[in-house]
């Protein structure tokens, strides 16, 4: 089995491809149901709320709050060893669904549940990934 | 329908780090001990329930081939705490339905040799097309199950004011149990200071919040009440069962609804549907002389206690204080020391301990007059065993 020891890239599937295409354009896209109007994550083949097939992709605000987070201190994955310690958070978007990403430019004391954050996009190995930054006051 | 299923034999290998034996050899030792314990012959085993398989171990067919078994019923899960109770339940279904006469539940682990599968580049679980079940986010470096337990605990602490000092009661209680158990790998007392100064692994979890990484095997033999009558041991009855809960309100390493992944953020008290196991067993929660759970990470003990209503939402960190879940406590948990201090044999070390307790052969760990014990996990599955 070929194991890539670099940092893993997202697995792009028919269901989530528009999400990653949106990232490439600097837009955070959410699959949204035309029948019940609810967005959802992670992207699925049907609306998980009403089981409708009628999904469209709508751009999200890119704003949210930290709903939980961890700080990794152990080098499970050699490609991340140089980054230790680094954080990984779940972000509750203002539209409702949550996604997981790292909060950039944040010390441990900057990380707390409820902290407002905004999305930024960074390229890595030909893929653009969403990250978040602590939000500045509007 | 109540299952017609009893545990008639248990066996184990040595538990330890970097054991020289292969995984198959550890399993063979455990199976021989279980057969001798039950008074059964290898030829009597016609069912297998393996809590194992790819990528951490061989599949059922290699086990049957290696041990010279002739099998007519197989259940196989892969190795996760989610499937400890499920693999025991499958054995109960099989003998109840007449699909097998004697099912051997086999769990054998060589974690020390297979370390590369645990959380690193070789751990392909989180990198599947739809990802892993523990909140993994491999592109951001969250690649190990411990990360999922940490996501759950961080939010739990925020919501309910639980602290690391309170969480410490879980690994300290498991250690206190292990001190009474000669098979346990960790035999040194753990103080609060030991806990607080153990290195941070994934904040808020420290080294002592994470299970041991070791080798070992446990086998349990399951058959019907009728078949058990002429066997050697007093049978231990599988009196109640309930299955794993799943859906958008569930994340395996957080209480239902608490706000991890897509959970609504509304954690409620234990629901009637989460307590049906007691109804099936014809018992009350208060009849449980002890509770056994999958303590791969110490927060899971808190979440399991809330799942089954031993305390209310957010109350478990206080509930476990004052020795309540330790030796001689009001509700002892994992009386042989659990995955945190006895050994990580995927929970089957605790299933074997439950059988010893109900037989009255648990030695220094024995709970006086233990008649009903519960296995239950924070993801909601359970098995009640009675003497
Ligand atoms: Zn819908």
Confidence class for position A2, pLDDT limits 50, 70, 90: very low
Chain B contact for A61 (CB, 8 A cutoff): no
- pLDDT exceeds cutoff 80 at A137: no
Residues forming a β-bridge with B273: none
How is residue B344 annotated by DSSP? Answer: -
Checking if the pLDDT of B123 tops 50, the result is yes
Q: Which two tokens stand for residue B15?
A: 């538990």
The kind and range of the H/E element at B241 are strand B236-242
* Separation in Å, CA of B154 to nearest CA in chain A: 6
Burial class (CB in 10 A: 0-12, 13-18, 19+), B27: buried
Which domains are delineated in chain B? 6-115+212-386 (3.40.47.10)
pLDDT tens, residue by residue, A25-72: 999 999 999 999 999 999 999 999 999 999 999 999 999 999 999 999
Q: Across the interface, do B137 and A88 touch by the CB < 8 Å criterion? A: yes
CB contact under 8 A, B202 and A86: no
Whether residues B151 and A48 touch (CB distance < 8 A) is answered with no
Q: Are B53 and B78 in contact (CB under 8 A)?
A: yes
Which residue would you say has higher pLDDT here, B252 or A4?
Answer: B252
What is the distance between the alpha carbons of residues B376 and B281, in angstroms, rounded to a whole number?
Answer: 14
How far is it, in rounded angstroms, from Cα B186 to Cα B13? 17
Which of B131, B139, B154 shows the shortest C-beta gap to A70? B154
What pLDDT, on a 0 to 100 scale, did the predictor assign at position B114? Answer: 85
Q: Compute, in angstroms, the gap from residue A49 CA to the centroid of ligand 1.
A: 5
Contact A73 B152 (CB under 8 A): no
| N-to-C CA span, chain B | 19
pLDDT at B56 over 90: no
A2 touches chain B (CB under 8 A): no
Q: Structure tokens of B108?
A: 């054998």
Spacing, Cα A38 to ligand 1 middle (Å): 6
Cβ pair A71:B202 closer than 8 A? yes
Contacts of A106 (CB under 8 A, 6+ apart): A87, A133, A134
Q: Are B262 and B135 in contact (CB under 8 A)?
A: no
Measure the CA–CA gap between B266 and B248, rounded to whole angstroms.
Answer: 12
The pTM of the whole model exceeds 0.95: yes
Q: Which residues surround ligand 1, an ion (CB under 5 A)?
A: A 33, 35-36, 47, 49-50, 52
């Amino acid at each position: 089995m070929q194991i890539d020891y670099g940092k893993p890239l997202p697995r792009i599937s028919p269901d989530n491809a528009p999400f990653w295409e949106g990232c490439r354009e600097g837009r955070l896209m959410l699959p949204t149901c035309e029948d019940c109007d609810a967005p959802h994550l992670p992207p699925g083949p049907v609306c998980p709320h009403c089981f409708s097939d009628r999904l469209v992709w709508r751009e999200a605000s890119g704003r949210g709050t930290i709903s939980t987070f961890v700080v990794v201190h152990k080098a499970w994955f050699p490609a991340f060893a140089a980054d230790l310690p680094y954080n990984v958070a779940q972000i509750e978007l203002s539209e409702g669904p949550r996604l997981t990403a790292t909060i950039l430019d944040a010390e441990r004391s900057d990380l707390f549940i409820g902290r407002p954050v905004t999305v930024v996009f960074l390229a890595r190995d030909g893929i653009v990934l969403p990250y978040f930054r602590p939000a500045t006051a509007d | 329908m109540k299952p017609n299923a009893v545990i008639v034999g248990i066996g184990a290998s040595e538990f330890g780090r970097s054991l020289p034996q292969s995984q198959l050899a550890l399993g063979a030792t455990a199976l021989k001990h279980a057969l001798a314990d039950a008074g059964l012959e290898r030829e009597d085993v016609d069912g297998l329930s393996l809590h194992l398989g790819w990528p951490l171990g061989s599949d059922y067919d290699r086990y049957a081939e290696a041990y010279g078994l002739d099998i007519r019923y197989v259940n196989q899960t892969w190795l996760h705490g989610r499937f400890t109770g499920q693999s025991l339940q499958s054995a109960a279904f099989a003998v109840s339905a007449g699909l097998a006469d004697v099912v051997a539940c086999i769990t054998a682990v060589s974690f020390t040799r297979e370390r590369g599968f645990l959380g690193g580049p070789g751990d392909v679980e989180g990198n599947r097309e739809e990802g892993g079940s523990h909140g993994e986010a491999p592109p951001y470096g969250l690649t190990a199950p411990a990360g999922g337990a940490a996501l759950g605990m961080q939010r739990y602490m925020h919501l309910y004011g639980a602290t690391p000092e309170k969480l410490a009661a879980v690994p300290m209680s498991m250690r206190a149990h292990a001190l009474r158990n000669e098979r346990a790998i960790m035999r040194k007392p753990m103080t609060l200071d030991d806990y607080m100064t153990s290195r941070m692994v994934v904040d808020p979890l420290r080294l002592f919040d994470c299970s041991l990484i070791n080798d070992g095997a446990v086998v349990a033999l399951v058959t019907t009440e009728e078949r058990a009558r002429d066997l050697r041991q007093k049978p231990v009855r599988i009196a109640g069962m309930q299955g794993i809960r799943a859906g958008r309100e569930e994340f395996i390493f957080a209480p239902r609804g608490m706000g991890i992944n897509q959970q609504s953020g509304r954690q409620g008290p234990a629901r009637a549907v989460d307590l049906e196991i007691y109804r099936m067993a014809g018992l009350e929660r208060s009849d449980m002389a002890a509770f056994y759970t999958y303590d791969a990470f110490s927060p899971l003990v808190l979440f399991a206690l809330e799942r089954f209503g031993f305390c209310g939402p957010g109350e478990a960190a206080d509930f476990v204080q004052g020795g309540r879940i330790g030796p001689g406590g009001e509700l002892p948990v994992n009386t042989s020391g659990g995955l945190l201090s006895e050994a990580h044999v995927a929970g089957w070390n605790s299933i074997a301990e439950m059988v010893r307790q109900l037989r009255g052969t648990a030695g220094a760990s024995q709970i006086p007059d233990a008649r009903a014990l519960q296995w239950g996990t924070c993801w909601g599955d359970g098995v009640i065993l009675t003497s």
